[in-house]
Structures are given as C-alpha cells and as structure tokens.
Amino acid sequence: MSRESAIECRLSRAARLFGNNTALINVTDRLSFSDLDQMVSERARQLQQHGVSEQQWTALRVTTSQQGVIDWLAVLRAGGIALPVGQRTPEAGLQEMLSEHKIGLYIPEPGALPAQSSSIPTAGLASPSEREAALAEQLFFRANTPCAGILTSGSTGRPRVAVHSYANYVRSAQGSQQLIPLVAGDRYLLSLPLNHVGGLAIIMRCLESGATMVLGGRAEDAKFLERHSISHISMVATQLRRLLEQRDIDLPELRCILLGGGPVAETLLEQARQHQLPCYLSYGLTEMASQVLTHDPQGRAHILPYRELTLAADGEIMVRGETLFLGYLRNGEIRSATDHEGWFATRDLGRWLGAGLAIIGRKDNQFISGGENIQPESIELELRRHPAIREAVVVARPDDEYGHRPVAFVDSHNHIPPEEELKAWLRERLAAFLVPDEFLPIPPQEGMKVPRKQLECLAKQSRKRES
C-alpha cells in the first residue's frame, strides 16, 4: 500500500465483515458492529450539521465510555480531525491551547454539540450551505492525510499536538496483530484513557480484528476480568502490581497483558509468570501510534511490522516507519520532526541486552552531579527491587557543592522503610554517588504516572525546610 492510497474506514469494514458480532460491551448494554456503525453515522451527521467538516480540527472532551468511543469515531467519519482531551485538562489551559493551534471547534462533553472556539473567526469555518452540501460520510481515508491528534507533553511539560494519519493507526493495529493475535470473539478490556494513544490503539485493534471492546472495568480488578472472560488487557506496571496483590487470581481466558508506560521490574514479571499471566512488555510512544517493539513472554524483543528501530551512537532510540506521525501541530500547521532520512529521535536511551531491549531512561532526565552522569531510572530500578517498595521516582535537586544531587520519592506496600535501610540497600548495588541524599513519600495522584516536574518542586521545598 503506497502512502497515497485510500484506506477503508475500519468501522465500516468491521460492520461489513463482522456485522452482528459484538463490538462493544458496557455495564448496561452491548452493541454489534452494525449497531456501532449506525450510531457513529448518526452522530457524524449531527456533527457535520453543526460545523464539523473535511479537515476541520475538532477538540472533544472524552471519557473511556461508549459515548467517548462513538464521538471519536464520529469526528473521523464526519471528515474532521479529532483531538481528544481528557477530563482533567483545565478549561482555561485548554482554551489557550485551542487558540494557539487555531483549532476551530470544541465538543465540551461526550455527546454534546460542537461549539465554535472563541479564538477562531467565523470565516474560518464552513458556512451552513457548505456544510449541507458536504453531508457525506468519510468511508475511505487518504493514507497520508491528518485524521487525529494526541496531546503529548514530552520533556517540557508544555502540551504539543502529535498529528496522525489514518494509516498510522491501521498499520499500528496490523503490526500488533502479527505478534499478539486478536480475533473475532476475543475480548479486549478498554480501560485506558481515550485521550492517550494507548486507548485509541485498542479501538483500532478491535475494529481491525472483529474483537470485542469491554468497558466499565479496571485492569487490576481480577473479578471483573474473570466475570467478563477478558482475553487481552493493556496496562502499566502499577496496575499489574495491584492485580498481583489480589488473592486467588484465576484468569484462564487471559492470553495477553500488554505492558507499557515505562520500565517494569523483573521481580514483578517473575510474579506474573508464577501466576501464569502472559506479559508482553512493550516500548512505544505517541509519535509512533503506540507500540514499536514488544517483548514476548519469554523476553525476546520483536520490532513490529511497519516499524523500524535503531540506536544512535549515544544510545538514543531512533524510530521510523508507516506508524510514524506526520509531525507536530504548530500555529495551525503540521511540522515534521524527523531528520533527512526520516528518523525520529525519541529522547529515550536504550541498550540491547541479549534478545531484549533495555530502556535506560530519558535523555531529558539525565543530570550531572559532581562531574558524574546520573540516569535517575537506574536508581529507580534498584529501589523497586527492594521488597517493601512499590514505586520509586528519582529527581535532581540543585546542590551548592555538586551542582545537583538525587532525591528519591518512594511508595511502599505497607510502610516506607527507614532512610538508612534504603541507602544501605542501594550502596550494595550502586556507586556511592548514585545514592539519593533524601527519601520522600510519593504524593497522592490521580494518574498512573507521577509528574517529575512536580516532584522536582517538592524536592526543592524539602531542602528549604531543612535549611
């Protein structure tokens, strides 16, 4: 398939191939692929009548729900470019972002009608007569044309919009299928946020294969997984740990736990193996429409079809392929982020270890302490191996003598061990300059990832209290 060829809408294709098979199950209802196709068409026509038109950027608040799935698919079918936004994004910051990127329409809540962004003049939108003339469903997509964007903060903390084509999502699903088979009748738990590429990737995998999306449950809820015969789950290490903490785990239907979102301790993977839970440890990123490389349950790394991955001289992971995004949206224009050979620099550092790829950490997280390079992730890995530690995040704190020193934030299974015990644990395993000066509790947070910038501020505040 060339970059210019047309791709059939995966939902209309699924309705044609799988028709009455169950596409989606939620707490109160279930929809066939034909039902879902019809509901998306009706919603798309409604959106078109209220301003969504071909290549019209449309931001939409989403939840991981039936309506969230319908809304995202409907914006695409209406011909628009969908930008899903999570419920926790502050309204003021969102409006500023819409203005900055010249995004004209905004759906303020699932199922609502789109409203014109206050920052975009009326002339920037199609007129009512033009909209009426354009009421046609988008059932085929040009491979290299924008269809959706994802907000990604990257290393700066300032949201950027990574722009994908429809081909990016289709090739991502097809490549995943080669390593992790998904067929009609399988049940994939959809619990990841739909404003993240991981959640959207599940939708596309199920449409591509005819598998069923199951809503309304948590990935770490063993009873829900057993009751709904879940065969596939996507989760992060924190959720796997919570799943393993439950008693009498019996999940005979479960064939794949796709782990992403950061490093996973080998001790955690070993616990999963003891419970006969098949874990696929993946490396992926928003800019590559989810997975790039995935380790099978035996630990062998597989670069998935339609992707390429290599390591630069300094260990930075470089990627390219048919899942690579079109670029970042800046002031209403899409700007490429690749070098002259089409490689995208991920800012992640990696190293080949036997048959696997070890992710060392982020280039952006590395800092210098007394002339020594410190990669926080290496300290975090050893802390997570301590039997009492559930999670660890290490950040740099300014220091008058050394420039910067590491500070560790930790979470425990029961209670945080004494600081001297943790320091002794690390001294046995790491060079002395890598042992953090201070250990603090990880503050409560809503998401699965702890924001490093927030912890850096807390580390500085702790130093001020000491002085």
Alpha-carbon gap, residue 57 to 119, rounded angstroms: 13
Mean pLDDT along residues 134-161: 80
pLDDT in tens, 152-183: 875 445 689 999 999 999 999 999 999 999 99
For residue 253, pLDDT over 70 is answered with yes
pLDDT at 425: 96
The sign of the torsion formed by the CA atoms of 143, 190, 112, 331 equals negative
Strands (E), 11-137: 22-25, 30-32, 57-61, 81-85, 105-107, 115-116
pLDDT at 133: 46
pLDDT at 466: 59
pLDDT in tens, 297-306: 999 999 999 9
Domain ranges of the chain: 6-358, 366-466
What φ, ψ does residue 241 adopt, rounded to 5°?
Answer: -60, -45
For residue 137, pLDDT over 70 is answered with yes
pLDDT at 138: 80
For domain 6-358, which CATH number applies: 3.40.50.12780, 3.30.1490.20, 3.40.50.720, 3.40.50.2300?
Answer: 3.40.50.12780
Classified as helix, coil or strand, 462 is helix
pLDDT over 70, % of the chain: 92
Mean pLDDT along residues 250-255: 95
pLDDT at 28: 86
pLDDT at 136: 65
Mean pLDDT along residues 424-451: 87
CA distances to 56, 302, 374, 376, 403 from 371, in Å: 51, 37, 9, 15, 9
Confidence at 286, pLDDT banded by 50, 70, 90: very high
Alpha-carbon gap, residue 141 to 39, rounded angstroms: 20
Q: Which of the two residues, 246 and 11, has the higher pLDDT score?
A: 11
Confidence at 446, pLDDT banded by 50, 70, 90: low
pLDDT at 119: 54
For residue 314, pLDDT over 70 is answered with yes
pLDDT at 4: 52
Confidence at 121, pLDDT banded by 50, 70, 90: very low
Mean pLDDT along residues 285-294: 98
Strands (E), 158-209: 160-165, 187-189
CATH superfamily of this structure's domain 366-466: ANL, C-terminal domain (3.30.300.30)
214, 197, 212, 277: which is closest to 242 by C-alpha? 277
Residue with tokens 């002794």: 424
| Of the candidate ranges 59-73, 119-133, 211-225, 393-407, the one whose mean pLDDT is the lowest | 119-133
395, 364, 356, 397: which is closest to 264 by C-alpha? 356
